[in-house]
């Protein structure tokens, strides 16, 4: 699974990196070296635009938004279900009711510097590792997002709608599998537009994008167990305890 990651890039950097046409972030999120479930995170998505007069639809627009990590299906009675839906397995996206419609209509990219996984060691302890692009570039994790309407709030309440997201995971490959058997699906730059395309709704056509997605250029190294606690944060969490090793 992917249960923690680092996201430290400033909003303006993400706007430029992902060529965002519309900034819908209410405020800049602080650099976070220990992003945990239920936190607010940046997401890049594409939604239909509006004409100048607000009537009809214009060309789709790539947007930067702030979402809550932990997907809450539209049919959920209680938003607390989101804490159990931080990941969506690639192999069953078209089958699970919680993810099926989002997979067809609401895909996003979740920018990250890298993510953490824990390797089992002798005894009860686990060694945390930081896994990141070896070139220092942004990691675009494949995600889904969903809207949930709070029935207890009035239609004019700005908190009426909750927008949440999940990270899609797949089987870890090669040496990465020795740390953990799952990893986030990483969408390569030349596939960003296809992944975000709201007109691509056929599940089989979307699955084709997975076949062209490679982990490529990842490196990992062990880090301090400080990352185990969500209360800890800061650059020290991604400092290597040993020299890093390239994976691919």
pLDDT at 162: 96
The pLDDT of 53-67, averaged and rounded, is 80
The pLDDT of 98-122, averaged and rounded, is 94
The pLDDT of 96-125, averaged and rounded, is 92
Write down the pTM of the prediction: 0.92
Q: Is the dihedral of CA 26, 27, 31, 36 positive or negative?
A: negative
pLDDT at residue 243 tops 90: no
pLDDT at 51: 45
The token duo for 196 is 């975000």
Estimate to the nearest angstrom the gap between the alpha carbon of 142 and the chain centroid: 6
The CATH H-level (homologous superfamily) assignment of domain 5-113+138-214 is: SOS response associated peptidase-like (3.90.1680.10)
User: What mean pLDDT, rounded, does the chain reach?
Assistant: 90
The token duo for 6 is 């680092």
pLDDT at 213: 58
- Give the residue numbers annotated as catalytic, written as ranges: 2, 117
pLDDT at 121: 82
pLDDT at 159: 83
pLDDT digits (tens, 9 = 90+) for 133-186: 999 999 999 999 999 999 889 888 888 999 999 999 999 876 677 788 899 999
Estimate to the nearest angstrom the gap between the alpha carbon of 232 and the chain centroid: 21
pLDDT at residue 55 tops 60: no
The pLDDT of 7-36, averaged and rounded, is 97
pLDDT at residue 52 tops 60: no
pLDDT digits (tens, 9 = 90+) for 189-240: 999 999 999 999 999 999 888 876 565 588 999 999 999 999 999 999 999 9
Q: Is the dihedral of CA 201, 44, 46, 189 positive or negative?
A: negative
Residues whose CB falls within 8 Å of the CB of residue 156, separated by 6 or more in sequence, listed in order: none
């Amino acid at each position: 699974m992917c249960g923690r990651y680092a996201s430290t890039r400033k909003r303006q950097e993400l706007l430029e990196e992902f060529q965002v046409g519309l900034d819908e972030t209410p405020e800049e999120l602080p650099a976070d070296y220990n992003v945990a479930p239920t936190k607010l995170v940046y997401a890049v998505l594409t939604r239909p635009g509006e004409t100048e007069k607000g009537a009809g639809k214009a060309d789709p627009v790539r947007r930067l938004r702030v979402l809550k990590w932990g997907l809450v299906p539209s049919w959920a009675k209680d938003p607390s279900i989101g804490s159990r839906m931080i990941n969506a397995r690639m192999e069953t996206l078209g089958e699970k009711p919680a993810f099926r419609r989002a997979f067809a209509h609401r895909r996003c990219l979740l920018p990250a510097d890298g993510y953490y996984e824990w390797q089992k060691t002798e005894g009860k302890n686990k060694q945390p590792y930081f896994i990141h692009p070896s070139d220092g570039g942004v990691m675009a994790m494949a995600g889904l997002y969903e809207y949930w309407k709070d029935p207890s709030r009035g239609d004019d309440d700005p908190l009426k709608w909750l927008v949440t997201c999940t990270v899609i995971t797949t089987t870890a490959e090669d040496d990465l599998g020795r740390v953990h058997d799952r990893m986030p699906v990483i969408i390569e730059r030349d596939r960003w537009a296809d992944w975000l395309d709201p007109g691509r709704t056929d599940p089989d056509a979307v699955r084709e994008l997975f076949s062209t997605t490679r982990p490529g250029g990842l490196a990992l190294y062990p880090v301090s167990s400080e990352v185990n606690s969500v209360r800890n944060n800061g650059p020290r969490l991604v400092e290597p305890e040993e020299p890093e090793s390239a994976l691919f």
